[in-house]
Amino acid sequence: MDSRRKAHAISPHIASRLYGALTCSSEALYGILQDPAHEVVRAALKNRALEEPHLLALLRRRDLSEDLLRAIHQMDLALNSHKVRRALVKNPHLPAPVLQALLPQLHLFELLDICFLPGASPDQKLAAERLIIQRLPTTPLGNKITLARRAPTAIAAELLKEGHAALMDPCLTNPRLQEMAIAQFLRGATASAETISSIARHPRWKARKSVRDAILKHPRTPGIWFTLWMPGMRGPEILQLSASRRLSPSQRQLVKEELRRRGLA
């Protein structure tokens, strides 16, 4: 046998496993799908006894090759089974083009699960986040509230930007929400007196100086926060606040009164 024929030769042991993969019973198929040789697994995909539960068990493996995952994606079982498509998306080795094709077929909170899935690749998590954000305009308020409590940083920030009063407390309590997102919200057009007061009252954010400063410089901030906070501020801070061009006439009057009280006006 020449070298070319030797390269294509299959050992009797592998040949036996390949035959078993093609012909075994449904019960035996579960074990064969755990075979370390991917050619044996690929042969098992052609077994007539193969059903959805077999693929779900196979997709729990984290050593599957991209080619094998592509082959599974092209099977009728994958095309017709939402569970199989979801399991494919959760596999960290799924090729990016297949991931992009499958993610839009997942439900909202299935996408959220991908964001926190142990072992999921950064690309998987980022793609899921982006798709959730794209869906936000058509997402019911109740689902948005649940998202606001649980979502990753970028999604929580997008929900905060909406400025809906019902979303404020869930967003502000979300441990992944960052101070930068609140600063952006307070510079935006969707902040109202009610939502600004939600931030000012919140135990996690009310004591942060940068948040307080941003609140006091917003033209829609209710006067009560000027009355409560200015007595505890230093003179130079009040002077700096008085120079803000964003203050409303009534806010500017409160600042002037505080300066006069301190003899700084």
- What integer pLDDT is reported at residue 3 of this predicted model? 40
Q: Which H or E run includes 166?
A: helix 165-173
- What integer pLDDT is reported at residue 4 of this predicted model? 45
- What integer pLDDT is reported at residue 146 of this predicted model? 97
pLDDT tens per residue, range 32-77:
999 999 999 999 999 999 999 999 999 999 999 999 999 999 999 9
- Two tokens at 154? 């970028």
- What integer pLDDT is reported at residue 134 of this predicted model? 97
Q: Splitting the chain (265 residues) into consecutive groups of 10 residues, what average pLDDT does each group show?
A: 46 85 95 94 96 97 95 94 95 92 96 92 92 97 97 97 96 97 93 97 94 96 97 94 95 95 84
157-171 burial: b if 16+ Cβ within 10 Å, else e: bbbbbbbbeebbebb
What is the reported pTM?
Answer: 0.83
- What integer pLDDT is reported at residue 7 of this predicted model? 39
- Two tokens at 14? 């592998």
- What integer pLDDT is reported at residue 231 of this predicted model? 94
Complete DSSP assignment for 31-97: HHTT-S-HHHHHHHTT-TT--HHHHHHHTT-S---HHHHHHHHTSHHHHH-HHHHHHHHH-TT--HH
Alpha-carbon gap, residue 78 to 87, rounded angstroms:
10
Secondary structure class of 113 (helix, strand, coil): helix
- What integer pLDDT is reported at residue 10 of this predicted model? 66
